[in-house]
Every structure is written in C-alpha cells, then in structure tokens.
Structure 1
Amino acid sequence: MMSDTPVQTPSLVRELALLAVLATLWGASYTFIRVGVETIPPITFIAARTLIAGGLLLAIIRLRGLALPRDPAMWKRFFIQACINSVVPFTLIAWAELTVNAGLATILNSTTPIFAFLLTVLITRHEAVTTRKVFGVAAGVVGISLIIGLEAFNGIGKELVAQLAIVAATISYAAAAIFGKGFKNLDPMMPAAGSMLCGAVILIPVSLVVDRPWTLAPSAHSLLALLGLAVFSTALAFVIYFRLINTLGTVGTTSQAYLRVPIGVGIGVLFLGESLSSTAWIGLICVIAGVAAMTLPARRKAAIVA
C-alpha cells in the first residue's frame, strides 16, 4: 500500500524538477491534440496515440524484466479502465478541440478532482464531506459556468456542445480514478500499459471503418503532434508519474494539477495565439481554487502539550 509520506531522497530538487516536467508534459497535451486533429480525424488520432503509448509502456515493462498479467479477469478490468480512462475521454477531448482552443480544454479538464469527489459522495460515499470540499465544488462549478459563459443562453451551438464534451470527458476521468483504485496491488505501470493496449484494440477497428486512415493525408505538423503526444505526454509522462509516486508520495505528485492549468493555458497562448475572455480568466482562478481546496491535504492539528 502506497503512503502519502514522501520518501526522503538526497536529490529533492531533481524530483521537484521532474514534477514540473510532468505538469508541462500534461499541460502541453492539449496543444498537441489541437494541432494533431487539424488533419487527422479524432478517432484515428487517439487510436494511434494509445497504440504508440501502449507499445512504449510495454517495451519499458519488458526492459524492467516484468510481464503483463495473464489473468482474463484482470484484462477485463483493463478493458473497462481503457473505456473510461482513454477511449471515451481521449476521443471526446480530441473531437472537442476541433472547435475549442487548448487553453479552455485545459481549464475544463482540470476539474477532475471535483467530479471524483462528487461521484464518491453520490456512489461510494467513502469521502468525508467537509466545508473546504463543499467550497471546492462550488468554486469549480462557478468556474466552469464562467468559462462556458453566456453562450449557454444562446441555444445549443457547436461550441457549447464541444465544451460540454470536455466536461463529460472530465467526469469519465473521475470515474476512472475511482475504478483504478482496484489496481493498487499491481505495479502501477501494468494497468497503464494494459489499458492503453486495450484502448488501441478498441479504437483501431473503428478507425479503419470510419476514417479509412489509408486515404488520409496528414500534415507534418499533425504527425509531429501525434508523436509528441504519444511519446512525451502519454508514455514518458506515465513513467515520470510512477517514479514520483514513490519519491514524493501521492499527495505531492497530485500537486502537478496546479501547475498544469497555467502551463497548458500559457502554451496555447504562446504557440497557438489563443486568447481567453475576461470571464474565462476569472473562471480559471475559480477552477484552480476549487481543485486546490479539493486536493490539498488538511493541516494536522498541533498536539497539545501538557
């Protein structure tokens, strides 16, 4: 069982630097997707992402002298995890970013801890309901509302539907986080690789039928974005994540969520020339505050000395 207490290492600076790298890799993923889907249809793009990332993770497992489990029941769990942690959310986000910019996608997708808390309260009911968590939920809902903006009152348009698709993907990620707790007795890289490979098995046939990828003519920019997303923001990011779980602890590692939002928005602004409305910037602040309230560990009360 993993502890939230960081392991003492002689190179804490290096681990914190890796934490910043992880936040950058995941923050950059939305820009990679935005560029990739310009000439590669979302289903094919995500099918390739899961195949490349799963293959790389499998190679890393083999290099470590390990092997994926052979239990059919475990592969059934990998299949379910693939559906709710990659196939559905990856595809929804990729489709949404045909119209939604990378910055907004980053902000909306950062609310996963809020939806995870709501799902646990409504379904598993193992999370304590505190004033701070209620504030976090409220701030997150307000943030999402400000980001989506008044468009919701102008009829159901494509932009609104795309933004809601990202929210749906975020809820799917939250469900995956809850379901993924069932893999705690496995090396963390096993469900990562297994679910990615299952995702590829699901999406590749759909891609062949729907997109006929042999007829596509993707641009060099889209292909580079695909490789960057699969190699760096998926496979490499997972490797760094699993390392940090053992060195900084689970709580320390989740702090990358606070870095990921401004990094993701900043990358979209700098490299794609995106801009956010004034209400979206306010929504960004609300979302960061909400996620922080939901995930920061509570301060321990000082012991009373007699």
Structure 2
Amino acid sequence: MPVQNRSLEYALLGCLALLWGSSYMWISLALETIPPATLIAIRVALACAVLLAIMAFRGIRMPLDKRSWWQFFVQSLVNSTGPWLLLAWGQQYAGTAVSSVLNSTSPLWVFALSYLLLKSGQRPGRLQFTGAMAGFCGIVLIVGVGALEDIGQNLLPQLAVLFSAVLYGFAALRGRVFSGLPPIVSAIGTLLCSCLVLIPMSLIADRPWQLEPDLTALGAAAILGIACTALAFLIYFRLLRTLGPMGTASQAYLRSGIGVFLGVVFLSETLDLETFAGICLAIFGVVLINWPKNNKSQVTPAVGKEVS
C-alpha cells in the first residue's frame, strides 16, 4: 500500500507507541486485584467485543475459509498470546529495567529475521539498521546503563522476555500476509484466536468468578481492552501495510520515552540529562528507520513471499 500521507502515518506510529507505552501503567493498576491470566483474558475479550461491534456497524464480514483462520491463529500466537504470557511471567523475575531493554529489541529482530525470510528487494537497508542500533542505544540510556549489569543473572526469565521480542519481530514480518484484508478483520481474527487460548487458561488458573476486583482495576482493564488493544491493533495492522514491518516495530523505541514522559507529568519524576539524551537518540533511530527510500518497491510492502 503506497504511503499517501506520511505525516498521518507517523502520527499513528506515535499514537501506537503511546497506547502500548501507557499499557504498563494500566496493567500495574489492574494487577492489584486481578491476576495476570484473567487480566489478559479480559483485555482480549473486551477488545474483540468492541471491534466486532464496529465491524457489524460497518457491514464488514470475516473470511470463512480454513486457511485464513489458520493464519489468524498463528498470528495470535506470535503477536499477542505468546509474547504477553512470556512477558507476564518473565518480567516478575527479570526486573523492569532489564525487561525494558530486552523487550525493546524487536526492531533488531525484524532486521535479522528479514534476511532469513524475505527476498532481497524487501529487506531493510543500512539506514534502517543504523536507526535500529541508535534506537536501542537510546533505550539503554533511558533505562540506565547499569541495568545491563543484571543481564544473565536471572537467565531463564530474561530469555523469556527476549523471546517475546523475537516473537514481536516475527509477527511484524508475518503480518504482511494480511495486506489484502482490512485492518479491522486482521485485528479481530488475531484477537479471537487469542481468546480461544486465554479465556480457558483464565478459568482454570484463576477461577475469576471468585475474584473481587475494585473499580480502579476494572477501569484500568477497560482502558487496556478498548484503547491499548482494540484501537492499538487497528493502528498496528494499518501501519504494517503503510510503514512496513521495520517501521511499525520502531514504535518499541518510543514506548520507553513515553513511559518517562508519563512519569514526569503524573508521578512528579525528574528527567536527567542521560535519560533526555536517550530519548533524543531513540527518536533519531525511529526517524532513520522510517526515512523514505528512493526505491519505490521498498516503500510499498510486497506480498510476494509469505511468512507462514
């Protein structure tokens, strides 16, 4: 899909980073009275309900063939169910700082996996690699260089967080197989398949009918489902068609900066020089990753070789 208005796509990229960057705050509020498995199930189920209502209003229908639903199911494993469960478990033991660094590596994984899975004309170039490295260095500065000292101490949880980033990278590349579908169809198909796994898991693990969540937790869960999942997935699948996998994955570099911004505005935290430099470097990396290419064929994500 040719990029007609790059300013709009970049604004949507920032919006996606805001939605997913703020999700950590809402998750922390909801987890006070709602267990992780149940929270994720509520998040996905609510997002599905909202998107299905929108789809019904617009008169859009889901595909019914087996191949499409198999593609949706695989995408749900690498785009939502797998990464969310790995993060929920790994971050408890790996630590927030290390998890932030490891989880922000998804653009690097997009770059690496593209050389294994895509044709030469569809791979990102040197400018995108430079941007990916600059963005990653910016994340290290934002989180704090000292966080790297903890890498390797809780190896298994850290590997779980890192693998979630690998799955996000693969999901961004694989999302190209849905380029012929409206973003809302891709989002609903993926989230419905996630529900098939997450809701039974919640019923078995948490017995949610026995829970007594407070209003704050319920409100946070509602925001997670409606804004950070339903709206975010619509934007995500649109950006895969316009900015491509590498450009869409670059929002990982903006999330940490947004987290710092929210902390300064709402939690009265301070912004030191190292963190500010990291935010600037992360933004610079995103700019390089999304810099318009001269090769027109690289601007429009090709569908030629599917990643299944």
Paired residue type of 1:91? L
Counterpart in 2 of 1:139? 134
Deviation at residue 281 of structure 1 after TM alignment = 5.7
Moved more, 50-59 or 212-221: 212-221
Counterpart in 1 of 2:76? 82
Q: Indicate yes or no: 2:64 matched with 1:51.
A: no
CA distance change for structure 1 residues 245 and 186 in 2, over 3 Å: closer, same or farther?
Answer: same
Deviation at residue 237 of structure 1 after TM alignment = 3.2
Unaligned runs of 5+ in 2: 296-308
Moved more, 146-155 or 27-36: 146-155
Q: 2-side partners of 1:87 and 1:195: how far apart?
A: 10
- Aligned partners of 1:139 and 1:286 also within 8 Å: yes
- Aligned partners of 1:32 and 1:228 also within 8 Å: yes
Could you list the per-position Cα deviations for residues 102-138 of structure 1 after superposition, in whole angstroms to 9, with x for gaps in the alignment?
Answer: x886676454333211110233353446332332343
Q: Indicate yes or no: 2:173 matched with 1:178.
A: yes
Moved more, 115-124 or 138-147: 138-147
Unaligned runs of 5+ in 1: 301-306
- Aligned partners of 1:33 and 1:97 also within 8 Å: no
Deviation at residue 270 of structure 1 after TM alignment = 3.6
- Aligned partners of 1:111 and 1:291 also within 8 Å: no
TM-score by length of 2: 0.75
Paired residue type of 1:46? I
Q: Indicate yes or no: 2:120 matched with 1:120.
A: no
1:40 pairs with 29, 34, 37, which one? Answer: 34
Moved more, 269-278 or 233-242: 269-278
- Aligned partners of 2:101 and 2:140 also within 8 Å: no
1:193 pairs with 185, 188, 192, which one? Answer: 188
Aligned counterparts, 1:8-47, within 5 A: 21-47=15-41
Q: 1-side partners of 2:194 and 2:188: how far apart?
A: 10
Q: 1-side partners of 2:15 and 2:207: how far apart?
A: 36
Q: 1-side partners of 2:172 and 2:90: how far apart?
A: 22
Report sequence identity in percent. 39
Counterpart in 1 of 2:258? 263
Q: Indicate yes or no: 2:66 matched with 1:67.
A: no
CA distance change for structure 1 residues 77 and 128 in 2, over 3 Å: closer, same or farther?
Answer: closer
Deviation at residue 178 of structure 1 after TM alignment = 1.1
Could you list the per-position Cα deviations for residues 245-280 of structure 1 after superposition, in whole angstroms to 9, with x for gaps in the alignment?
Answer: 99xx547x9599376543233124443566788766
Deviation at residue 54 of structure 1 after TM alignment = 1.2
- Aligned partners of 2:75 and 2:171 also within 8 Å: yes
- Aligned partners of 2:98 and 2:151 also within 8 Å: no
Moved more, 275-284 or 72-81: 275-284
Paired residue type of 1:60? I
- Aligned partners of 1:39 and 1:219 also within 8 Å: yes
Q: Indicate yes or no: 2:228 matched with 1:233.
A: yes
Deviation at residue 299 of structure 1 after TM alignment = 6.0
- Aligned partners of 2:72 and 2:193 also within 8 Å: yes
Moved more, 107-116 or 76-85: 107-116
Deviation at residue 40 of structure 1 after TM alignment = 2.1
**What is the RMSD computed on CA atoms of the aligned residues?**
3.8
Could you list the per-position Cα deviations for residues 206-249 of structure 1 after superposition, in whole angstroms to 9, with x for gaps in the alignment?
Answer: 11222222333333322211110101122133445677899xx5
CA distance change for structure 1 residues 33 and 242 in 2, over 3 Å: closer, same or farther?
Answer: same
CA distance change for structure 1 residues 255 and 91 in 2, over 3 Å: closer, same or farther?
Answer: closer
Higher relative CO (CA 8 A, sep ≥ 6), structure 1 or 2? 1
Q: 2-side partners of 1:295 and 1:214: how far apart?
A: 46
Q: 2-side partners of 1:113 and 1:49: how far apart?
A: 25
